[in-house]
Copies of this chain bind each other. A is one copy, B any other.
Amino acid sequence: MSGAQPVRIGLLGRGTVGGAFLELLSRREAAVVAATGRRPRIAGVVRRSEGDFDEVVADSEIVVELIGGTDPAREYVLRALREGRHVVTANKQLIAQHGDELFDAARQAGVQLRFEAAVAGAIPVIRVMQESLSATEITRVSGIVNGTTNFILTEMASTGAAYSDALGRAQELGYAEADPTEDVNGADAAAKMAILARLAFHSAVSLDDVAYEGIEAIQPDDLAYAKEFGLSLKLLGVAERHGGEISVRVFPCFLYRGHPLAPIEGAFNAVTVEAPAITEITMSGPGAGGTETASAVLGDVVSIIAGEAPVHMPRDRLSVTRDLDSAFYLHLEVADRPGVLAGVADVLGRNEVSVKSVVQWGLGEDARLVMVMHQCPESRFYAALSEMAGLEFLRAQPRAIRVIEEEFV
Interface residues of A (CB under 8 A from B): 24, 28, 31-32, 34-35, 99-100, 103, 106-107, 112-114, 116, 122-124, 127-128, 130-137, 198-199, 201-205, 209, 211, 217-219, 221-222, 225, 231, 233, 236, 240-242, 244-249, 251-256, 258-260, 262-263, 265, 272, 274-286, 289, 291-292, 294-296, 298-299, 302-304, 306-322, 324, 329, 331, 368, 370, 399, 401-405, 407-409
The answer to whether B128 touches A127 (Cβ under 8 A) is yes
The answer to whether B28 touches A136 (Cβ under 8 A) is yes
CA of A304 to CA of B308 in the docked complex: distance in angstroms? 9
Give this chain's copy count: 2
- Which residue on chain B has the smallest CB distance to residue A206? B320
The answer to whether A321 touches B254 (Cβ under 8 A) is no
Known contacts: A312-B198, A320-B205, A402-B251. The answer to whether A132 contacts B137 by CB under 8 A is no
Question: Closest 5 interchain pairs by CB?
Answer: A253-B402, A122-B278, A124-B132, A277-B295, A281-B285
Residues of B within 8 A of A202 (CB): 34, 312-316
The answer to whether A318 touches B246 (Cβ under 8 A) is yes
Shortest distance from the beta carbon of A249 to any chain B beta carbon, whole Å: 8
> Among B251, B281, B321, which residue has its beta carbon within 8 angstroms of that of A284?
B281
Sampled A-B contacts (9; CB under 8 Å)? A199-B312, A201-B316, A242-B324, A246-B319, A246-B321, A254-B329, A258-B409, A263-B263, A280-B285
CA of A342 to CA of B342 in the docked complex: distance in angstroms? 67
**Which residue, of A34, A124, A133, has the highest number of chain B Cβ atoms within 10 A?**
A124
Residues of B within 8 A of A260 (CB): 284, 408
Known contacts: A123-B281, A128-B124, A277-B122. The answer to whether A112 contacts B201 by CB under 8 A is no
- Which residue on chain B has the smallest CB distance to residue A262? B263
Q: 5 more A-B contacts (CB under 8 A) besides A245-B321, A278-B295?
A: A131-B131, A241-B318, A247-B324, A277-B291, A282-B282
- Which residue on chain B has the smallest CB distance to residue A108? B311
Residues of B within 8 A of A368 (CB): 221
CA of A391 to CA of B209 in the docked complex: distance in angstroms? 34
The answer to whether B236 touches A404 (Cβ under 8 A) is yes
The answer to whether A370 touches B225 (Cβ under 8 A) is yes
The answer to whether B281 touches A282 (Cβ under 8 A) is no
Residues of B within 8 A of A136 (CB): 28, 31, 295, 298-299
Residues of B within 8 A of A24 (CB): 277
CA of A111 to CA of B309 in the docked complex: distance in angstroms? 9
Shortest distance from the beta carbon of A287 to any chain B beta carbon, whole Å: 10
